[in-house]
Amino acid sequence: KTEALVSIDVNTGKNIGSMNLEETVVKTNMEAAAEIARQLRIRNLSGIIIIDFIDMKVEEDKQKVLKVLEENLAKDRVKTNIIHFTDLGLVEMTRKRLGKPLSYYFQDECPLCKGTGKIKGSRAIVESIIKELKDIVSEKDIKNVKIITKTSVKEKIEEIYFDFIKSLLQASGKTIEITTKNRDLLKDYEILLES
């Protein structure tokens, strides 16, 4: 995904199939067309979308791939428009913007490069912490749980999840402490257990 458009590149990887190369290319492109339509819906990608299918020489094969793409895009509640293959063999299409893309909910701007890179979002980190805490609850010899994380994650916990986490741990007789450490933290968070 870029500011101007979403680009999708299709390739066979190392799969050359048991058929001849052209059949493998068409089969791969048809499978990719179905998956692309699904991923556009799941990720809520929109705007101008350019798909670079594997090059096909026969016009009939291109039409088969477009048909699969159109059939799968018909399941989408958001309006799409396929412009067909360009002279360079790319499929141009548009998908109406509706809501936020999935990345909005799970990625934050990178604090180091301020733009081009993305890091795991605070909400996604909190979900990982909660998942780990659910495993810790059943451990009887643990009395105190200390979470060390970055400030943005601590704020997200305190804003939305603290009561849930506290009650989860208190039900098994555990206390919780959350501290921050933005530097020298190798992972998004650390959980220290004390008996």
139 φ/ψ angles, rounded to the nearest 5 degrees: -80, 115
Q: How large is the average pLDDT for residues 129-156?
A: 87
What span, in angstroms and rounded, lies between the C-alpha atoms of 106 and 164? 20
What span, in angstroms and rounded, lies between the C-alpha atoms of 166 and 145? 10
In the chain, where do the E strands start and end?
Answer: 6-9, 47-52, 80-85, 91-95, 107-109, 118-120, 144-149, 175-180, 189-194
Q: What's domain 121-194's superfamily in CATH?
A: Ribonuclease E, catalytic domain (3.40.1260.20)
92: closest CA among 32, 125, 41, 47?
A: 47
Q: In the chain, what are the domain boundaries?
A: 6-99, 121-194
pLDDT band at 69 (very low <50, low <70, confident <90, very high): very high
For 13-64, write each residue's pLDDT tens digit: 655 555 677 788 889 999 999 999 999 988 888 889 999 998 888 889 999 9
The yes/no answer on whether domain 6-99 falls in CATH 3.40.50 is: no
For 72-119, write each residue's pLDDT tens digit: 999 888 898 888 888 888 899 998 887 777 776 777 777 666 666 667
Q: What is the pLDDT of residue 185?
A: 64
The proportion of the chain whose per-residue pLDDT surpasses 90, expressed as a percent, equals: 20
